[in-house]
Amino acid sequence: MANDKKRVAWVTGGGSGIGQAGAEALAADGWTVIVSGRRKDALEAVVSGINSKGGGKAEALVLDVSQAADVEAAAQRILAAHGRIDLLVNSAGVNVPKRSWEDMEISGWDKLVEINLNGVLYCMRAVLPAMRAQKDGCIINVASWAGRHVSKMPGPAYTTTKHAVLALTHSFNMDECVNGLRACCLSPAEVATPILKLRPVVPTEEEQARMLQPEDLGRTIAFVAGMPPHVCVNEILISPTWNRSFVAMAQNR
């Protein structure tokens, strides 16, 4: 986003993983970053680390994206403090241990829909009026390899919500391109983040070392955010070179 004005980014799920890495990379590029999430202590640690390094500044904002009214209030708070929102990074997302058709629970399904899908929509709607008024704005929705390729391991709820985020992103571009707005669906394969601990079988340290690392996605987020306003990066599908899904397919031949 090439302009001479103050650049303000809102990163959800910023207390760890991809969101944290994105916030750090954006701040290193000079952005003012509002980092939101549900855990105050984690947010404060991220913000403290960013602000100690110089470059852009960071602020913490405790938020549960599954609560529509709270999301709207958060957007208004950011606008009141900074006057604009140039970038939204929807990185808040979860999965559950019980994720197969055999053991999945309706409460788990509802949780994933509320955070992984509804939360994305709530945040997009909350920033839309300000971005339209600016005639400029970028949204990066962190989806997943599971949003493009159906496989057993992520489970039906996670796979469904991430497919929906992909569709939501493209639908946004169809409507809002005429207003100078653009959205990118960032779909990474396996990333070595804390969410891996919720898997029924947690990958080994050696396996995680071969995965994408959070900083890889941070660099990708900063790249998309740094493109000029006439460029829309509609979608990025990114994986580690050692892609375990490809390796498994090769071994089953």
Identity of the amino acid at 16: S
122 is catalytic: no
- DSSP letters, 104-132, are --HHHHHHHIIIIIIHHHHHHHHHHHHHH
Query: How many alpha carbons lie under 13 Å from residue 198 in its C-beta half-sphere?
Result: 14
- Give the H or E element holding residue 25: helix 17-28
Residue of 31, 145, 158, 172 marked catalytic: 158
Rounded distance, CA 90 to CA 146, Å? 16
Paired tokens of 251: 């071994």
The answer to whether residues 222 and 26 touch, using CB atoms and an 8 Å cutoff, is yes
Separation in Å, CA 124 to CA 168, 169, 199, 206: 10, 10, 29, 37
Candidates 191, 192, 171, 193; CA nearest to 183 is 171
Rounded distance, CA 3 to CA 8, Å? 12
Find how far residue 238's CA is from the centre of its chain.
14
Phi, psi of 42 (to 5 degrees): -65, -40
Phi, psi of 54 (to 5 degrees): 85, -170
Residues with catalytic function: 158
